[in-house]
């Protein structure tokens, strides 16, 4: 039985069900599997970034001014590096706005 791909919304004869650490899952066709895994990895990485920001500043990344997190993920920066960069970009006390370092 064919299903609808959650990523591209096309009918797919062969699908893969993937999930993330929060127990969410999606049905994806073969073509969308890699893209879907990248999204799951990005979501999990963002959870780690948010945890680091919460540990450092007591706030969520959602409480900070918007940052372009996806390019930092694509550059393979660590959640620790990105947490400091996001706090720096927000001009959080104790963080350098140029590099995010204390």
Q: Is the pLDDT of residue 23 over 60?
A: yes
Q: Which helix (H) or strand (E) holds 25?
A: strand 25-29
The residue with tokens 């706030």 is: 59
Q: Is 29 helix (H, G, I), strand (E, B) or coil?
A: strand
Of 26, 95, 10, which Cα lies nearest the Cα of 57? 95
**With bands split at pLDDT 50, 70 and 90, how would you rate the model's confidence at 19?**
low
Q: Give 89's contacts (C-beta < 8 A, 6+ positions apart).
A: 64, 65, 67, 97, 100
Partner residues linked to 12 by β-bridges: 3
| pLDDT of 59 above 90 | yes
pTM over 0.75: no
Report residue 31's pLDDT band, with 50, 70 and 90 as the boundaries.
Answer: confident
């Amino acid at each position: 039985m064919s299903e609808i791909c959650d990523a591209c919304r096309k009918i797919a004869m062969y699908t893969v069900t993937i999930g993330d650490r929060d127990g969410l899952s999606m049905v994806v066709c073969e073509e969308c599997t890699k893209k879907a895994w990248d999204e799951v990895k990005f979501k999990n990485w963002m959870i780690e970034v948010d945890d680091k920001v919460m540990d450092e500043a007591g706030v969520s990344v959602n409480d900070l001014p918007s940052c372009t997190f996806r390019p930092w993920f694509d550059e393979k920066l660590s959640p620790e590096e990105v947490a400091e960069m996001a706090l720096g970009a927000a001009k959080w006390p104790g963080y350098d706005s140029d590099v995010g370092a204390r």
